[in-house]
């Protein structure tokens, strides 16, 4: 018998069985009490999991037996098994067929189909089985369903629902107030009082929230302050303090000042700088003198900010192996004389000094035009003073805050850098003192220098970082010691030649 004939026979048998079923109006006799129990077995899960949808009464046999172009072999076999079971059930309740024979034949057919279906699944069957394994009734494990994400439509519906509820509550309150307060004037005053109470409650809630935020920020700031105080850099970060000790504010903006008065003010600034230099050196460098040797000078740099300016300072202690204080002082003077050339050669910085007034043989008032790269340019009116005696040799540099006669470029004048500020001022105090080595007893000269530069820029400005980085060998003392050693070597050669 061909497959088409077998399928037609099964459909005809199924049709005849349905025509005799009670749901089609045919009253069948009740089941016999001695109907034998059928030894039926359920198919394996890997094949039964493919088709989980129960067939409808009208099309179960046809749909199960005929496979669509996309149905797998496992699906077709499962449908055929279900067809045999249904035929077995119908035949068992029909009196025309012997119960034992029908049961034996159905079981034999079912076993034959089960044996035929025990084959290795194809790739398509494995894909369908993997997809169906998420069913909790097949896998036996429960997986909590993830709530679906709300889209814009659902959110809009939820908002409309909330608005409807609020409108309902509002109407309920209005009706309650109208019943409780029938007088219109009393009702109006009650509404105004309720509105004022609500506004007050909102203001109080906002006030409490702001106070809580303020408290959190204060506690956070206090935590930062405590961490800053524990920083190992804080003890030596005294740039602002160094600047206040070195700089004496001076303004020559008074138009009524005569030339003599200007010179007196400038000379007084130079005298004060040289007079205070030893005390400033003792104040900031006394604790580090023991750490400096002839072979290893001590140098420390730090950067600080007070919100308006950024201060970069350098503390230097060095022991020059030379017995003559005046010889070392002459070498330091040679350093200041060659500073313009040396800075350009080693740091690529242009520092042009133009003398404005010669105050004395050892002090002068000059204008420094500074350029470090194409973006950073600054001008500063600077005083330079020196004094040499038997105890000390002092060199001091300070600046004038304001001098309309010799103006300097400021921010907003049109020619400014990218950060919007151009002010760069330097203060320096260098002290030379004779000393004797405690171990060897050899005389030498103790060189102590305090240098600070003030920028009219925030510490995060790129120009501050660039300038501090490029001028490091100038500010940390390397260039100073190099030139001093060269000058002393030149003096020695000239003395030998003479």
Q: Could you tell me how far CA 412 lies from the centroid of its own chain?
A: 34
**Pick from 87, 106, 134: which residue ends a domain?**
134
Q: Which two tokens stand for residue 213?
A: 């935020």
SS3 state of residue 43: coil
pLDDT for the residue 231: 82
Per the domain annotation, does 478 fall within a domain? yes
The larger pLDDT score, comparing residue 175 to residue 71, is at 175
Q: Which two tokens stand for residue 348?
A: 């690529």
Contacts of 487-496 with CB under 8 Å at 24 or more apart are 487/330, 487/331, 487/334, 487/335, 488/320, 488/322, 488/327, 488/328, 488/331, 491/327, 491/330, 491/331
CA atoms in the 13 A half-sphere facing the CB of 230: 6
Determine the Cα–Cα distance for residues 383 and 274; give it in Å rounded to an integer. Answer: 11
Determine the Cα–Cα distance for residues 186 and 199; give it in Å rounded to an integer. Answer: 20
Per the domain annotation, does 387 fall within a domain? yes
Q: What percent of the chain has pLDDT over 70?
A: 67
Task: Average the pLDDT over 350-367 and give the result.
Answer: 92
**Is 77 exposed, middle or buried, given 0-12, 13-18 or 19+ CB atoms closer than 10 A?**
buried
Determine the Cα–Cα distance for residues 475 and 347; give it in Å rounded to an integer. Answer: 11
User: Residue-wise over 146-160: b if at least 16 C-beta within 10 A, else e?
Assistant: eeeeeeeeeeeeeee
pLDDT for the residue 281: 95
Residues 116 and 247 in one domain: no
pLDDT for the residue 370: 92
**Pick from 82, 108, 134: which residue ends a domain?**
134
pLDDT for the residue 410: 54
Nearest to 61 by CA among 17, 126, 115: 17
Q: What is the DSSP track for 344-372? A: HHHH--EEEEEEEEE-SSSEEEEEEEEEE
Residues 6+ away with beta carbon under 8 Å from 252: 262, 265, 400, 402, 403, 404, 405
Neighbours of 300 (CB within 10 A): 18
Per the domain annotation, does 199 fall within a domain? no
Residues 393 and 253 in one domain: yes
Determine the Cα–Cα distance for residues 227 and 326; give it in Å rounded to an integer. Answer: 47
Kindly indicate the confidence band of residue 51, based on its pLDDT and cuts at 50, 70 and 90: very low
By residue count, the chain amounts to 498
The kind and range of the H/E element at 488 are helix 478-497
Q: Say if residue 151's pLDDT is above 80.
A: yes
Per the domain annotation, does 183 fall within a domain? no
The larger pLDDT score, comparing residue 23 to residue 285, is at 285
CB 382 within 8 A of CB 366: yes
Per the domain annotation, does 212 fall within a domain? no
Determine the Cα–Cα distance for residues 228 and 224; give it in Å rounded to an integer. Answer: 6
Average pLDDT over all residues of the chain: 77
Task: Average the pLDDT over 34-61 and give the result.
Answer: 44
Range of the domain at 126: 3-134
Task: Average the pLDDT over 316-324 and give the result.
Answer: 92
Task: Average the pLDDT over 322-345 and give the result.
Answer: 92
Residues 295 and 433 in one domain: yes
Q: Could you tell me how far CA 8 lies from the centroid of its own chain?
A: 75
Per the domain annotation, does 38 fall within a domain? yes
Residues 259 and 121 in one domain: no
Kindly indicate the confidence band of residue 409, based on its pLDDT and cuts at 50, 70 and 90: low
- Calculate the CA dihedral of residues 86, 87, 93, 97 and round it to 10 degrees: -170
The 10s digit of each residue's pLDDT in 61-118 is 434 434 444 444 444 444 444 544 444 444 444 444 444 444 445 445 445 544 444 4
The larger pLDDT score, comparing residue 8 to residue 112, is at 8
Of the ranges 19-23, 25-29, 430-434, the best mean pLDDT one: 430-434
Residues 6+ away with beta carbon under 8 Å from 34: none
Residues 120 and 250 in one domain: no
Q: Which two tokens stand for residue 219?
A: 């506690």
Q: What percent of the chain has pLDDT over 90?
A: 47
The larger pLDDT score, comparing residue 271 to residue 115, is at 271
Domain count within the chain: 2
The kind and range of the H/E element at 203 are helix 184-229
The larger pLDDT score, comparing residue 301 to residue 27, is at 301
pLDDT for the residue 178: 85
pLDDT for the residue 5: 67
> In the structure, how many helices (H) and strands (E) does the chain have?
16, 8
Per the domain annotation, does 139 fall within a domain? no
Per the domain annotation, does 166 fall within a domain? no
Of the ranges 58-62, 63-67, 238-242, the best mean pLDDT one: 238-242
**Pick from 100, 134, 168: which residue ends a domain?**
134
Determine the Cα–Cα distance for residues 471 and 396; give it in Å rounded to an integer. Answer: 20
Q: Which two tokens stand for residue 311?
A: 């201060």
- Longest pairwise C-alpha distance within the chain: 149
Task: Average the pLDDT over 42-49 and give the result.
Answer: 43
Kindly indicate the confidence band of residue 475, based on its pLDDT and cuts at 50, 70 and 90: very high
The larger pLDDT score, comparing residue 412 to residue 377, is at 377
């Amino acid at each position: 018998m061909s497959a088409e004939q077998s399928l037609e026979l099964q459909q005809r048998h199924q049709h005849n069985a349905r025509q005799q079923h009670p749901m089609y109006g045919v009253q069948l006799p009740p089941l016999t009490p001695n109907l034998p129990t059928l030894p039926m077995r359920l198919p394996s899960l890997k094949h039964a999991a493919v088709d989980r949808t129960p067939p409808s009464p009208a099309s179960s046999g046809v749909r199960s037996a005929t496979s669509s172009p996309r149905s797998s072999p496992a699906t077709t076999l499962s449908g055929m098994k279900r067809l045999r079971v249904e035929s077995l059930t119908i035949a068992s309740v029909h009196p025309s067929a012997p119960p034992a024979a029908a049961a034996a034949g159905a079981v034999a057919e079912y076993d034959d189909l089960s044996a035929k279906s025990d084959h290795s699944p194809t790739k398509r069957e494995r894909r369908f089985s993997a997809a169906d394994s998420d069913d909790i009734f097949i896998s036996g494990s429960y997986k909590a369903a993830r709530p679906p994400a709300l889209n814009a439509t659902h959110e809009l519906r939820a908002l409309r629902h909330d608005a409807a509820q609020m409108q309902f509550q509002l109407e309920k309150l209005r009706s309650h107030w109208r019943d409780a307060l029938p007088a219109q004037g009393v009702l109006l005053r009650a509404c105004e009082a309720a509105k004022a109470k609500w506004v007050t409650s909102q203001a109080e809630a906002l006030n409490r929230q702001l106070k809580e935020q303020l408290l959190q920020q204060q506690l956070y700031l206090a935590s930062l302050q405590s961490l800053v105080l524990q920083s190992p850099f804080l003890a030596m970060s005294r740039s602002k303090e160094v600047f206040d000790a070195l700089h004496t504010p001076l303004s020559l903006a008074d138009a009524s000042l005569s030339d003599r008065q200007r010179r007196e003010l400038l000379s007084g600034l130079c005298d004060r700088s040289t007079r205070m230099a030893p005390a400033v050196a003792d104040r900031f460098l006394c604790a580090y003198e023991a750490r400096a040797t002839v072979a290893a000078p001590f140098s420390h740099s730090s950067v600080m900010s007070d919100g308006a300016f950024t201060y970069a300072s350098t503390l230097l202690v060095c022991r020059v192996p030379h017995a003559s204080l005046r010889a070392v002082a002459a070498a330091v003077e040679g350093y200041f004389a060659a500073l313009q050339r040396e800075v350009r050669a080693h740091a690529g910085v242009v520092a042009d000094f133009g003398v404005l007034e010669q105050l004395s043989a050892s002090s002068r008032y000059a204008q420094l035009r500074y350029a470090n790269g194409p973006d950073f340019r600054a001008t500063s009116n600077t005083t330079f003073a020196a004094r040499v005696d038997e105890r000390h040799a002092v060199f001091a540099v300070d600046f004038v805050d304001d001098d309309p006669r010799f103006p300097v470029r400021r921010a907003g004048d049109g020619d400014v850098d990218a950060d919007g500020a151009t002010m760069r001022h330097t203060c320096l105090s260098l002290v030379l003192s004779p000393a004797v080595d405690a171990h060897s007893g050899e005389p030498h000269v103790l060189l102590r220098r305090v240098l600070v530069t003030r920028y009219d820029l925030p510490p995060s400005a790129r120009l501050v970082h660039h300038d501090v980085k490029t001028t490091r060998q100038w500010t940390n003392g390397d260039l100073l010691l190099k030139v001093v050693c060269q000058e002393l070597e030149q003096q020695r050669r000239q003395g030998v030649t003479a």
